[in-house]
Structure 1
Amino acid sequence: MAFFQLLMKNKELIPLVVLVTAAASGASWFALYSLRKSDVITDRKRNPEPWETVDPTVPQKLLTINQQWKPIEELQMVRKASK
């Protein structure tokens, strides 16, 4: 009750409390939503090898680290011809 009494005395704190509460609940909702998605695996006991259940028809998210760039030969020939 002391919290609500403080808000009634200082009415300028009400918008701040509402915004902080909305932001915290939105962040919590998104965290729970992200954990429930099918590409996130949180249970290692029932599914110890998750790569065996990957559907090959569904595109997967990949991360490329240290990507090597190689020039495309056809594009290089077009560039040389247009100069």
Structure 2
Amino acid sequence: MGVFQTVMKKKELIPLVLIMTFAAGGASSFALYSLRKTDVILDRKRNPEPWEAVDPTEPQKLLTINQQWKPIEELQKVRRATK
């Protein structure tokens, strides 16, 4: 018997199936959202220093409150000297 046939025979399972489907969909979409972020490294061979590509003006968290960014002058000097 298939899942659909079982659910149609036992109507009390419909809310459970809907809740589980919604939860699985939400978990999958959040996992895909997290993989798109720049702080997640999937391939270290192509980009050994991925932190160089992070845009400091773009928030890296799901919710950011009062984020202010100022460049650190000493770090900028070191970055210019090593390139």
TM-score, structure 1 as length reference: 0.58
- Percentage of identical aligned residues: 75
Counterpart position of 1:34: 34
Given that 2:39 and 2:54 are in contact with CA atoms closer than 8 Å, whether structure 1 keeps it comes out as no
8 Å CA contact 2:7–2:13 kept in 1: the answer is yes
Deviation, 1:9, is 1.4
**Structure 1 stretches of 4+ moved >4 Å:** 54-61
SS of the counterpart of 2:46? coil
How far off is 1:39 after superposition? 2.4
Q: Could you tell me which runs of 5 or more consecutive residues in structure 1 were left unpaired when the two chains were aligned.
A: 62-83
RMSD: 2.4
TM-score, normalization by structure 2? 0.58
Distance 1:57 1:2, change over 3 A: closer
